[in-house]
Amino acid sequence: MKRVSFYALVWLVVLWCLAPFLWQIVTSLKTNAEIAALPVTYIPRHAGLEHYDALFTRKPFARYLLNSFVISGTSTILCVGLSALAAYAVSRLRMRGSRLMLAALVVISLFPPIIFFFPLYEMMRAAGLLNHPLALIIPYTTFNLPFSIIVLATFFRGVPRDIEDAAKVDGLGRLQILWRIILPLSTPALATTAILVFIFAWNEFLFALTFMTNDRAKTITAGIATLSGTTVHETPWGPIAAAVVVSTIPLILLVAIFQRRIVQGLIAGAAKG
Amino acid sequence: MKTRASDQTFGALLISPAGAFVFCIAIYPIARVLWLSFFAQNLATSLQPKFVKIDNYIRLANDGHFFATLRTTLFFTFVSVVIELVLGLAFALLLNQRFRGRAIARAAMLVTWALPTAVLAWAWSWIFNDQFGVMNDLLHRVGILARPIAWLGSGSTALFAVIFADVWKTAPFVMIILLAGLQNVSGELHEAAAIDGANSWKRFRFVTLPLLMPSIMVALLFRAIQSFGIFDLIFVMTGGGPGGATETLAIYTYNTYLRYLDFGYGSAMIVTSFLLMALCATLLYWPLSRTRGAQFATE
């Protein structure tokens, strides 16, 4: 009996976590008539993919997806690359002020994006970058640097110094040690960091909403916000549900494949914060 | 052996690219906001900056709307963070057990955390829809509601709805942090306490909870700061409405900049609310640093 109620509780928690998303799947498969029908149906009577079709034919949804992939991907590569260099310096070289620098990074990473959005908007406008992928790539790279430097520095500290010393004896230069010894040994850490940065970049909303005003420049998060219908009162719930499902599939795949990594990375980032 | 000085130079070289990004994209904007907050730059000045000393701050001190949004923000932060901590702790205690299907339960929570807030906010406005929303339907079916509620249409229910959605979205984050903390709590202490006759509640209260305190403080600090700057969820679900009932500081600031084009005033608003946030964070961080200092004294 105790066992049964325990498992009931577990499944209740799983249902609670997934319910809003499952409801979007159900809604996205219904016809417009069924979406606006009472009583609410829990299994679509005439399931169809018309809303998915509408996304790609009536809206540049493929374009939003592409933009999100390009922007998040580029930011991830840039951010992890720059962080690896900085994290090596912070964790392995005897430098004055590196602790202070890490503390400053933590503080900056805690600031909410609303603080930065207007000056950045001014800068991007002055540089002519509004509606250009760089307008998002640059801030996404920057604001994920503190987190990735902290996570990578934690992992680099765990690489035994003996290996590095042996490489020095073999006559490897310092950049070579970083490139040929430390980085290959830290592949799991680099992957962890990259996955998390990608998720953060994919999910960002405020900068995407304000810097990308042209429909073809928008990312997923900002694009869905502009799916709204012809009038203010007519919200197209079907296409929105389809958009929610499509735009979250890449993240669900990431989580499904890299569960363990994500948990480790988050803990490393938070514990040092 | 390499010398200290060359470590310093090489290190500076490695840090400089990341440093340049942080300086231009994070530090310069902070300075720029601080600078702008002493200028009037709005439609009345034809968007030209005009130095006005501390006039923006004086105006802010007399802005009832600012204080109303500050109250809403603090209320939202307090209520949602408290519920998230309790729920996140419950999730963590659950996942700390060994059972079949634990991986699935953890994946479900992780998915919730990983999904974009701005996108899932649409899912929640649909759930809370007044006519066809599933929330009304479910509550009606189990006999709690006689007639549908316009959740996002009236002040108190709208605030409840956004808090509900925020709790759903972020309790898993708290769970991740606390689960890591729980796994550091040794089984030996529990056994010792059990031998001394402590029941499971007492073991939780006097063994687990004190050892978990540092993790709880970390989760609390992170969540409180993020909640204080909440924007995307509310922007999508209610836009701050109805009648400003869910308008947080970030929404008011956003509107001041982009709707009223009042750049100087918006900047003063950011500086003020940021200083308030820093003050709260320091008050939270102080006990945190003490508990952590005790635990990691050997490090």
* B81 and B199 housed in the same domain: yes
Position B2 pLDDT exceeds 50: no
B105: CATH: 1.10.3720.10
Among A50, A20, A205, CA closest to B125: A20
* B53 and B129 housed in the same domain: no
* B279 and B296 housed in the same domain: yes
The region of weakest confidence among A154-158, A241-245, B213-217, B288-292 is: B288-292
Domain contains B16: no
* B278 and B209 housed in the same domain: no
DSSP letter at A95 equals: -
Structure tokens at B59: 């105006």
Q: How does pLDDT run across B19-63, given as a tens digit for each residue?
A: 999 999 999 999 999 999 999 899 988 888 889 989 999 999 999
> Is the distance from CB of A183 to CB of A165 less than 8 angstroms?
no
DSSP letter for each residue of B181-237: HHTTS-HHHHHHHHHTT--HHHHIIIIIHHHHHHHHHHHHHHHHHHHHT--HHHHHH
Q: Report the distance separating Cα B209 and Cα B203, nearest Å.
A: 9
In this prediction, residue B30 carries a pLDDT of 93
Residues in chain A within 8 Å Cβ distance of B222: 110, 270, 273
Strands of chain B, DSSP E: 39-40, 50-51
Assign B109 to helix, strand or coil. Answer: helix
* B56 and B108 housed in the same domain: no
Domain contains B168: yes
Domain contains B22: no
Q: Give how many domains chain B has, as a whole number.
A: 2
DSSP letter for each residue of B67-88: HHHHHHHHHHHHHHHHHHHHHH
For residue B293, what pLDDT band results from cuts at 50, 70 and 90?
Answer: very low
Residue whose pair of structure tokens reads 């402590």 in the numeric block: B198
Q: Where do the domains of chain A lie?
A: 1-48, 57-272
Q: Report the distance separating Cα A208 and Cα A221, nearest Å.
A: 7
Domain contains B46: yes
In this prediction, residue B294 carries a pLDDT of 41
pLDDT in tens, chain A (273 residues): 678 888 899 999 999 999 999 999 999 998 887 888 778 888 888 888 888 988 888 888 899 999 999 999 999 999 999 999 999 988 888 777 778 888 888 888 888 899 999 999 999 999 999 999 999 999 999 999 998 998 898 888 888 888 888 888 888 888 888 888 888 888 888 998 999 999 999 999 999 999 998 989 999 999 988 776 554 457 888 889 999 999 999 899 988 888 888 888 888 776 554
Who's near B288: CB < 8 A, 6+ residues apart? Answer: B214, B217, B218, B221
Q: Contact A10/B99, CB-based, under 8 Å?
A: yes
Q: Is B8 on the interface with A (CB under 8 A)?
A: yes
* B101 and B204 housed in the same domain: yes
> Is the distance from CB of B158 to CB of B244 less than 8 angstroms?
no
Nearest to B22 among A17, A123, A142 (CB): A142
Position B299 pLDDT exceeds 60: no
Position B98 pLDDT exceeds 60: yes
Assign B248 to helix, strand or coil. Answer: coil
* B151 and B253 housed in the same domain: yes
- What's the rounded mean pLDDT across residues B73-89? 96
Q: Is B35 on the interface with A (CB under 8 A)?
A: no
> Is the distance from CB of A135 to CB of A124 less than 8 angstroms?
yes
In this prediction, residue B291 carries a pLDDT of 55
Length of chain B: 299
**Mean pLDDT estimate for chain B:** 87
In this prediction, residue A271 carries a pLDDT of 58
In this prediction, residue B56 carries a pLDDT of 92
Q: Report the distance separating Cα B142 and Cα B138, nearest Å.
A: 6
Q: Nearest-CA residue of chain A relative to B18?
A: A82
Position B275 pLDDT exceeds 60: yes
| Amino acid at position A42, single letter | Y
Q: Contact B257/A118, CB-based, under 8 Å?
A: yes
Q: Which domain holds residue B283?
A: 32-62+264-299
Q: Report the distance separating Cα B164 and Cα A273, nearest Å.
A: 27
Nearest to A224 among B21, B107, B122 (CB): B122
In this prediction, residue A5 carries a pLDDT of 87
* B39 and B143 housed in the same domain: no
Distance from CA of A264 to the nearest CA of B (A): 9
- What's the rounded mean pLDDT across residues B97-110? 88
Interface with chain B: mutation pick from A2, A11, A34, A118, highest number of B CBs within 10 Å: A118
* B126 and B58 housed in the same domain: no
Q: Nearest-CA residue of chain A relative to B261?
A: A118
Q: Contact B111/A254, CB-based, under 8 Å?
A: no
Q: How does pLDDT run across A167-194, given as a tens digit for each residue?
A: 888 888 888 888 888 888 888 889 989 9
A1/B139: higher pLDDT = B139
Q: Report the distance separating Cα B71 and Cα B63, nearest Å.
A: 13
* B191 and B105 housed in the same domain: yes
Q: What percent of chain B has pLDDT over 70?
A: 94
Interface with chain B: mutation pick from A17, A107, A120, highest number of B CBs within 10 Å: A17
Nearest to B137 among A39, A123, A259 (CB): A39
Q: Report the distance separating Cα B151 and Cα B134, nearest Å.
A: 12
Q: What percent of chain B has pLDDT over 90?
A: 50
In this prediction, residue A229 carries a pLDDT of 55
In this prediction, residue B69 carries a pLDDT of 95
Q: Report the distance separating Cα B125 and Cα A205, nearest Å.
A: 17
Domain contains B10: no
Q: Report the distance separating Cα A73 and Cα A271, nearest Å.
A: 26
Domain contains B96: yes
For residue B289, what pLDDT band results from cuts at 50, 70 and 90?
Answer: low
Residue B207 CA from chain centroid, whole number: 28
Distance from CA of B33 to the nearest CA of A (A): 7
In this prediction, residue A234 carries a pLDDT of 72
Position B91 pLDDT exceeds 90: yes
Q: How does pLDDT run across A12-56, given as a tens digit for each residue?
A: 999 999 999 999 999 999 888 788 877 888 888 888 888 898 888
Among B232, B203, B262, B21, CA closest to B119: B232
Q: Contact B127/A221, CB-based, under 8 Å?
A: no
Position B232 pLDDT exceeds 90: yes
Q: Contact B123/A6, CB-based, under 8 Å?
A: no
In this prediction, residue B295 carries a pLDDT of 41
* B212 and B170 housed in the same domain: yes
* B288 and B246 housed in the same domain: no
What are the backbone angles phi and psi of residue A256, rounded to the nearest 5°?
Answer: -60, -40
For residue B298, what pLDDT band results from cuts at 50, 70 and 90?
Answer: very low
Q: Report the distance separating Cα B287 and Cα B299, nearest Å.
A: 19
Q: Is B248 on the interface with A (CB under 8 A)?
A: no
Distance from CA of A164 to the nearest CA of B (A): 13
Domain contains B2: no
Q: Contact B231/A220, CB-based, under 8 Å?
A: no
In this prediction, residue A12 carries a pLDDT of 92
- A57-272: CATH architecture: Orthogonal Bundle (1.10)
Query: Distances in Å between the alpha carbon of B30 and those of A61, A113, B126, B224?
Result: 35, 11, 37, 21
Domain contains B208: yes
Q: What is the CA radius of gyration of chain A?
A: 23
